A and B are shown apart, each in its own frame.
Chain A
Amino acid sequence: MATKIGMEVSVAIGEAVKLANADVIAAYPITPQTHIVEHLAELVADGELDAEYVPVESEHSAMSACLGSAAAGARTFTATAGQGLELMHEVLYIASSMRLPVVMTVVNRALSAPISIWGDHADAMAVRDTGWIQIFTENGQEVVDNVLCAFRIAEDRRVLLPVMVHLDGFHLSHMIEPILLPEQGEVDQFLPPNQYPLPLDPNKPVTMGGFGPPYIYPEIKWAQEIKLRAAKEVILQVWQEFGDAFGRYYSPLEGYHSEGCQVLLLTMGSFSETAMAAIDKMRSEGKDVGLVRLRLWRPFPFDEIRQAVKNAEVLIVLDRAISFGGPGGPVCSEIRSALYQQDRKPKVIGFVGGLGGRDISASGFEEIVNRGMEIAEKTSRNEFEVFGVRE
C-alpha cells in the first residue's frame, strides 16, 4: 500500500518518471528544472531506472534527441524551464506536427531580460501555439499524477501528441510536500508499454518529415488541429480512469465555491492555492466570490469555461504573463474570446501579476478581487491592469 511521504516536488517528478519506466531522458540543466533531471540521472546511475540518460549540450538538442527517441518508439521524457523552453521553440512544433509522444515537465520561469530564474508563465505562453497538449498543475501530487497521465495521453493511438505538464518554478518545483507515490504494479496496470504505431524500423521502412508543398501542407495542418481538439476526449477518459484507479480525479478546470457566484476569480498554476485562501476569507466576510482554476490549457476547454462562468456577473482573470502591446494576458484574452459570442456572459476583467517570481499573497488576491469589482462597475476601462507593480 502506497504511503504519503514528504519530498521535494522535483524529486517526486523524477520518481513518477521512474514509475512510468521511461526509456530515454534527454535533458539540459536549467534553474529551476535542475532537481528533476539530477534526480533522474541518479536513478539511472543507481540502476533504479533502466533508461538512457542523454546529457545533451543544449535544450535545442534535448528536444531534438527526444524527437529521435520517440520516433524510434521509446518512451521519452525531458524537462526544462524559461530560456530553455524558448531555445526548444522550433523543435516543439516538430514533436506535435510529426505526432511524436514526448512528455515534458516545464518548470515555469520568467524570460530574460533582465535575467530572472524565478517563476511566471511567460515561457509557457510563448509556446502556446506549438500544438502540444498543455496541463497546468497546482501542487506536487497533481504534477506526479499528471506526469503519469501525460504518458498515457501522449502515447494513446488516438492522440500521439506531445504533452507539457507545467508547474511553477520554485513556488512549486522546490516545495517539500506530502506526496503519495503509487505502487509500481498499479502504475503498470494504468500505463501499458508504449506501442508507437510506425517507428523507425529497418524491417518496415517509413519516411518521416518529408517536404510539404502548398498542395498538401494545409491538409496536414488541419488534420493536426482536428487531432489536438479530439485529444480532449481521451484526456477526459484518462483522467477518469486515473481517478478510478487511484482515487484522485482531474478535470479541465475546477471550481472552488464557484457555483452560482456573482464574482469569479480565475487562476492557473500554483497561485490558485493562495487564491483559495483569499476566497475563504472573503466568503467568511459574506462576499459572494468564488474561484475557477484552469488546468487544461491546450486543447482549450471552451465548453467547460462557458459553463463554469455563465451565471457570473464579473470574471476576474489573473495572468502571470504579458502580451506586450496586446490585450494584457493571454489567458484573459482567450477567455474573453471564448465568451464573446455567448448571449449571457460576465464582464471579464484582466490583471497581470506575479511576474518574475513576485509573490501574490492571499491579501493580494483579495485586493485583486476588490479592484476587479470596482473596475466592473465603471463603463470605460483599460484592457487590463497590472497588480503589485511600482509605477
Chain B
Amino acid sequence: MGEYITIGRHSVVKAENFAPGHRACLGCGEALAVRLACKALGDNVIIVNATGCMEVVSTQLPNTSWRVPWIHTLFENTAAVASGIEAGLKAMTRKGRRLSQDVTVVAMAGDGGTADIGLQALSGALERRHNFLYICFDNEAYMNTGIQRSSSTPYGASTTTSPAGKISIGQVSWKKNLPAIAAAHDIPYVATACPSYPFDLMTKVSKAAATKGPAYLHILSVCPTGWRHPADLTIRIGRLAVQTGVFPLYEVENGKYKLNVEPPKLKPVSDYLKLQGRFRHLSEDVINEIQQRVTAEYAKLKEKVASSLVHAGSQKDS
C-alpha cells in the first residue's frame, strides 16, 4: 500500500487520505489527529463524520479533503449511521452482492457529538456490538459553534456558555469520563490518545481498526482557538496534558487496563493550565482542587492497571 517514510523505528505511509487544503485553524490538534488516524486506517475504510468542525473544514461543497469514502448526515447519529453501513456491508457480502473485502467502518465525532447529543446512539451501537471503530476527537467544548461548554469541558474552563465571571469559575462540573463509559459496555478495545504522541496514536488506531467488534478511541485534540493559546503550543500542551496526568494515555483491552505513557513523576497541573487562556482566571485554590482531583483520578487508573496485571498474572499461574 503506497510509499512509506521511516522515522526511527516507525514507518509511516506517505499517502494523505485526509488531504491538505482543508480549512482548519492554524495549529488545530484535531486536524492533525485526523490526518494521523487516516494514515493508520489506510484505504479500506468508510468514514462517518458527525456535524462539527471536521465536516465544516473539510467538505465545503463542491470540494472535499477526503480520499476515502466519507459520509456526514447529522450531529447525534454518527454511531447509528455507522451501524447501518456495517449491517449493509455484512448483508450484501453474505448475499454475494458485493466482493468480500474487509472494510473498516469508522465513526468520527467531537466531544459534543459524543459525550452529549450522540451518547445514546453511541451506547446503542456499542451494546449491539457492531464491528466498527468510534473515534471521539475531544477538544473539550463546542468549538465549531463558538466555544460553548460540553459535558467534556474540564472543571474551571471558561467557555462562552460557562464564562468565568465575578461569581463563577467557569465550568463548574468535572469532565465526563467517556472512555470509562465506553469501557463499561464491555467492548474489546478502548484507548485514549493524543496527536502529541503520534506513533502511539497511529498504533492505537491500527489496533482498534483490527479489533473484531466495537472499538472506542478517545483523542485529546488541543484547540488553540478555544483553549486560547498560541498555535505553536499545540503539541506542547498535548504533551503536558499527558505529563501532568490530566489526560493519561491508556488502553483497555478486553477489560485489562494498560498505561502507555508513564512519566516517572507527574508534573504539576499548573504547568498545563497556565499556558491556556481558558484557565487564566483560576485562583490558586481552584488549581489546587484540580490538582487533587487529577492526582486522585490518576491513582484510580493506576490501581486498575495494577489489578489488571495481577489478574493477568493469576491467569497465567492457573
Q: Which residues of A contact B (CB under 8 A)?
A: 23-24, 26, 50-52, 54-58, 60-62, 64-74, 76, 90-91, 94, 98, 193, 200-202, 204-213, 216, 220
- In whole Å, how far is B287's beta carbon from the nearest beta carbon of chain A? 39
B249 contacts partner chain A, Cβ-Cβ < 8 Å: no
Given the known A-B contacts A65-B84, A71-B71, A208-B71, are A50 and B91 also in contact in the complex, defined by CB atoms under 8 Å?
A: yes
B: contact size bracket? 35 or more
Q: Say whether A65 contacts B74, CB under 8 Å.
A: no
The stretch of B25-33, B117-125, B146-154, B305-313 in contact with A is B117-125
- In the assembled complex, how far is the CB of residue B258 from the closest CB belonging to chain A, in whole angstroms? 30
Chain A residues within 8 Å of B71, by CB: 67-68, 71, 200, 207-209
User: Whose C-beta in chain A lies nearest to the C-beta of B49?
Assistant: A209
Question: 8 Å CB contacts to A: which residues of B88-102?
Answer: 88-92, 94-95, 97-98, 101
Are A52 and B70 closer than 8 Å at their CB atoms?
A: no
A-B residue pairs in contact (CB < 8 Å), sample of 23: A23-B88, A24-B91, A26-B84, A52-B91, A54-B87, A54-B128, A61-B79, A68-B80, A68-B84, A68-B87, A69-B84, A73-B88, A98-B73, A202-B45, A202-B46, A207-B59, A207-B70, A208-B72, A209-B73, A210-B59, A210-B63, A211-B72, A216-B62
- Measured between beta carbons, the chain B residues less than 8 angstroms from A24 are 84, 87-88, 91
CB contacts (< 8 Å) of B91 on chain A: these are 23-24, 50-52, 74
Chain A residues within an 8 Å CB radius of B73:
64, 67, 91, 94, 98, 209
From residue A30, how far is it (CB to closest CB) to chain B in Å?
Answer: 16
User: A23 contacts B95, CB within 8 Å?
Assistant: yes
Chain B residue with the shortest CB-CB distance to A60: B77
Point out the residue from A54, A56, A66, A91 that lies within 8 Å of B74, measured CB to CB.
Answer: A91
Chain B residues whose C-beta falls within 8 Å of the C-beta of A69 in the assembled complex: 84-85, 87-88
User: Which residues in A have their C-beta under 8 angstroms from that of B90?
Assistant: 52
Q: Are B88 and A211 in contact (CB under 8 A)?
A: no
Contacts of A66 in B (CB 8 A): 84
B221-278 interface with A by 8 A CB criterion: none
Complex formed: what's the CA distance from A72 to B97 in Å?
A: 11
Partner of A64, one of B68, B69, B74: B74
Contacts of A65 in B (CB 8 A): 80-81, 83-84, 87
Chain A residue with the shortest CB-CB distance to B99:
A203
CB–CB B74/A52 < 8 A: no
Q: Find the A residue at minimum CB distance from B130.
A: A54
Q: How far is the CA of A71 from the CA of B56 in the complex (A)?
A: 20
Q: Which of B60, B61, B89, B95 contacts A72 (CB 8 A)?
A: B89
Residues of A within 8 Å of B66, CB to CB, are 205, 207
Which residues of B lie under 8 Å from residue A70 when comparing CB positions? Answer: 84, 88
B160 within 8 A of A: no
Instruction: Tell me the chain B residues, 45-65 only, with Cβ under 8 Å from chain A.
Output: 45-46, 48, 55-56, 59-64
Contacts of B97 in A (CB 8 A): 23, 73, 193
Known: A98-B73, A205-B67. Is A64-B120 also a contact (CB below 8 A)?
A: no
Write the nearest CB–CB distance from A142 to chain B, whole angstroms: 28
Are A61 and B61 neighbours in the complex by a CB distance under 8 Å? no
* Docked-complex contact B60 and A210, CB < 8 angstroms: yes
Q: What 3 pairs between A and B have smallest CB-CB spacing?
A: A68-B84, A74-B88, A57-B124
Task: Assess whether A26 is in contact with B83, with CB atoms less than 8 Å apart.
Answer: yes
Cα separation A220 to B62 with both chains bound (whole Å)? 11
Within 8 Å of chain A (Cβ to Cβ): is B200?
no
Extra contacts, 5 of them, besides A24-B91, A204-B69, A207-B69 (Cβ < 8 A), are A70-B84, A200-B85, A202-B68, A202-B103, A205-B67
User: When the two chains form the complex, which single residue of A60, A90, A202, A210 contacts B80, counting CB atoms closer than 8 Å?
Assistant: A60
Q: Which residues of B contact A52 (CB under 8 A)?
A: 87-88, 90-91
Cα A76 to Cα B91 in complex, Å, equals 11
| Residues of B close to A73: CB separation below 8 A | 88, 92, 97-98
Q: Determine whether B44 belongs to the interface, using a CB cutoff of 8 Å to chain A.
A: yes
Across the interface, B44 reaches (CB within 8 A) one of A54, A202, A204, namely A202
Complex Cα distance A206/B85, Å?
A: 14
Q: Residues of A contacting B101 with CB < 8 Å?
A: 202
Task: Report the minimal beta-carbon distance from A47 to chain B, rounded to whole angstroms.
Answer: 12
Q: Of A57, A68, A74, A94, which one neighbours B48 at CB under 8 angstroms? A: A68
B56 to chain A: which residues have CB within 8 Å?
211
Question: Is B187 in the interface zone, CB < 8 Å from A?
Answer: no
Q: List residues of chain B with CB within 8 A of the CB of A205.
A: 66-70
Contacts of A71 in B (CB 8 A): 71, 81, 84-85, 88
